[in-house]
Structure 1
Amino acid sequence: MGGSRFSSELVRSSTDLVILALLRDRPMYGYEILVSLSDRGNGEFEFKQGTLYPLLYRLEREDWIRAKWETPASGKKRKVYSVTPEGTKVHEARVAQWHRFTQAVNSLLKDCNHE
């Protein structure tokens, strides 16, 4: 294994959680999400547009996020994504689940002297 990036399996299993977390912070358009993922994830979450947009469309179909077109002062129309009330519930449940999971893994690793 090795390298500084997370395995694709770890990233894939946490994408819904991190996208919902970002959008709970504030509504964002696609490119802004990509930059935020990279910046706030210390460069560990590198998504390509071809990966992000299908994920956003799926979250929209699940009714966890909502998209609307906006035209900012710059004049270029763009889609802005925000979390729905259902997405907020899902996010809160997943955060609680994530904390229980990471505590269990950390406990196991500590008990196995692999810390």
Structure 2
Amino acid sequence: MDVELIKGTLSLLILSLLSRKAMYGYEISTTVKGETDGAFEWRAGSLYPSLHKLEKEGLVRAEWEGEAGSRRRKYYHITESGRAALTEKSNAWASVCQAVNRVLENSDETN
């Protein structure tokens, strides 16, 4: 899969997953890998910087959860601003897909 295409969807997919429920980083990574049949396999080097960027933008917030003395995980929660951004990004993605598909369909007709 083209890495540049995947990069452009990272924040959209993270926000979409977090709109379902709060998740920790590894859970986000394994969920997207499973739901895309392995097409999207995010490494920590791309996932965590994106999560931190979304947090700085106020689109997600992070909370450490877990009992004292046990394994604690940093869970990411979507914010109201994040939900609004998800709607905006989803609409933009749908428009891009439609435009690209029109070009691809026209290419098939001329070949």
TM-score normalized by the length of structure 1 = 0.88
Unaligned runs of 5+ in 2: none
| CA displacement 1:31-51 (0-9 Å, x = unmatched) | 101101110111011111122
After TM superposition, which residue ranges in structure 1, 4 or more long, deviate above 6 angstroms?
A: none
SS of structure 2 residue aligned to 1:112: helix
Of 36-45 and 74-83, the range deviating more from structure 2:
74-83
Deviations along 1:59-90, whole A, 9 cap, x unmatched? 10011101001005992111000110001001
Match of 1:94 among 89, 98, 106: 89
Aligned to 2:41: 46
Report the counterpart of residue 33 of structure 1 in structure 2. Answer: 28
CA distance in 1, matches of 2:40, 2:87: 21
Q: Which amino acid aligns with 1:89?
A: A
2:52 is equivalent to residue 57 of structure 1: yes
Percent identity between matched residues is: 37
TM-score (normalizing by structure 2): 0.91
For 1:103 and 1:45, locate their aligned partners in 2 and report how far apart those are by CA, in whole Å: 21
Other-structure match for 1:76: 71
Q: Which moved more, 1:69-78 or 1:89-98?
A: 69-78
* Number of residue pairs the alignment of both structures matches: 109
